[in-house]
Amino acid sequence: MSESIGIAVVGTGDWGANLVRNFANAKGARLAALCDSDPLRLAQTGAQYPEARTVDDAREIAESDDVQAVVVSSSAISHYPLARLALEAGKDVYVEKPLTLRVDHAEELVRLAREKNRILMVGHLLIHHPAIQYLKRMVDGGELGDLYYIYSQRVNLGKVRKDENALWSFAPHDLSVILHLLGGEPIDVVARGSAFLQSRVEDVVFVDLRFPGGRLAHVHVSWLDPHKLRKITVVGSQKMVVFDDMEASEKIRVYDKGVDRAGQIVPYGDALTVRSGDILIPKISLQEPLRIECQHFVDCVRERRAPLTDGADGLRVVKVLAAAQASLERGGAPVALASLKQEVA
């Protein structure tokens, strides 16, 4: 395809503005339209991109012939209706995380994209991050040995949302990485959290996930915390890795640390020896992950190929979020992923 893809961005708020900037500069794309229901926001963003027309109603975008792909970056509660509207109108669609706030809604979007033969991508940004791609190659290449457990911290004193709690706002990032690295869904999920600032909107949530083979993951999210942390620690039988997104350039540290079994001729406990070797800081591309992600969407639309973070990936993460939400509402009772479909439907 030689013509550029006409892109419309719906929701040009704090994060949407970053998407607009990246799509305006993506190769093979052209910013056709900007849409926001807030006239002030629309005027602000529109003034920076005079090449794009501005509209306040997404239905106008759905009806536009010069728009082939719609980017949904509105508040999470409106992801589902806006993405459905665009897919039904035959557009390719990029939706910010979380794909939806309900499993059946995510399933419907995936089904609709398949029926209409449209591209559906979710903004699981970290999967496009060069450091996480490096980590994934290490895991797949067996360099870490067997993966034992992963834990993440995504906390700060930050933007307090009303339509979604800290779980749905922050945890999609960590869960998408955990599922990507461990290559499958958890057996069950336990979550505890508390709503300190607003009734029924949890500000802090601790999630525990149990995977086949005894592997574990733990996710701590909060927008009520003195630290700003964006950290994922991966512990394998051979090596351990820390991804720290707050580091300007040294995002990944690989620790050649572990506990080895020396041999079977000594008593079992004596056969375990601690290995504390070198720490490696690999050189990782510092390209903006969002730029990579936006270009990936444009390339997938042009080449008609499934994105790395497609609708199925979005649905997988929504399922885990829904299980965690169900557990939260039951005071931390374990919720099996397999039981979820019947409960949500």
Ligand X SMILES: NC(=O)c1ccc[n+]([C@@H]2O[C@H](COP(=O)([O-])OP(=O)(O)OC[C@H]3O[C@@H](n4cnc5c(N)ncnc54)[C@H](O)[C@@H]3O)[C@@H](O)[C@H]2O)c1
Contacting positions for ligand X (CB under 6 A)? 10-16, 35-38, 41, 58, 73-76, 78, 82, 96-97, 123, 125, 169
Q: What's the CA gap between 66 and 62, in Å, rounded?
A: 10
Q: How far is the CB of 57 from ligand X (least distance, A)?
A: 7
Q: What's the CA gap between 235 and 282, in Å, rounded?
A: 17
Q: How far is the CB of 228 from ligand X (least distance, A)?
A: 14
Collapsing DSSP to helix, strand or coil, 92 comes out as: strand
Q: How far is the CB of 145 from ligand X (least distance, A)?
A: 31
| Alpha helices (runs of H) in the chain, residue ranges in sequence order | 14-24, 39-48, 58-62, 79-88, 103-116, 130-140, 166-182, 289-303, 311-329, 340-344
CA distances from 270 to 238, 239, 261, 278 (A): 19, 21, 9, 24
Q: In this complex, which beta carbon is closest to ligand X, that of residue 230 or of residue 302?
A: 230
Q: What's the CA gap between 315 and 256, in Å, rounded?
A: 35
CA angle 211-207-72, nearest 5°? 100
Q: In this complex, which beta carbon is closest to ligand X, that of residue 74 or of residue 327?
A: 74
Collapsing DSSP to helix, strand or coil, 254 comes out as: strand
Q: How far is the CB of 95 from ligand X (least distance, A)?
A: 8
Q: In this complex, which beta carbon is closest to ligand X, that of residue 73 or of residue 153?
A: 73
Q: What's the CA gap between 245 and 249, in Å, rounded?
A: 9
Q: In this complex, which beta carbon is closest to ligand X, that of residue 41 or of residue 105?
A: 41
- Judge contact between 157 and 308, C-beta under 8 A: no
Q: In this complex, which beta carbon is closest to ligand X, that of residue 162 or of residue 283?
A: 162
Cis amide bond preceding 334, omega within 30: no
Residue with tokens 């041999």: 263
Q: How far is the CB of 61 from ligand X (least distance, A)?
A: 9
Q: How far is the CB of 48 from ligand X (least distance, A)?
A: 14
User: Which residues have C-beta within 8 Å of that of residue 299, sequence separation ≥ 6?
Assistant: 28, 305
Q: Which two tokens stand for residue 304?
A: 């008609």
Run of H or E including 277: strand 272-280
Q: In this complex, which beta carbon is closest to ligand X, that of residue 147 or of residue 171?
A: 171
Collapsing DSSP to helix, strand or coil, 33 comes out as: strand
Q: In this complex, which beta carbon is closest to ligand X, that of residue 75 or of residue 237?
A: 75
Residue nearest to ligand X (CB): 13
Burial 209-228 (b: 16+ CB within 10 A, else e): bbbeeebbbbbbbbbbbeee
Q: In this complex, which beta carbon is closest to ligand X, that of residue 24 or of residue 125?
A: 125
Q: How far is the CB of 266 from ligand X (least distance, A)?
A: 50
Q: In this complex, which beta carbon is closest to ligand X, that of residue 58 or of residue 139?
A: 58
- Judge contact between 246 and 154, C-beta under 8 A: no
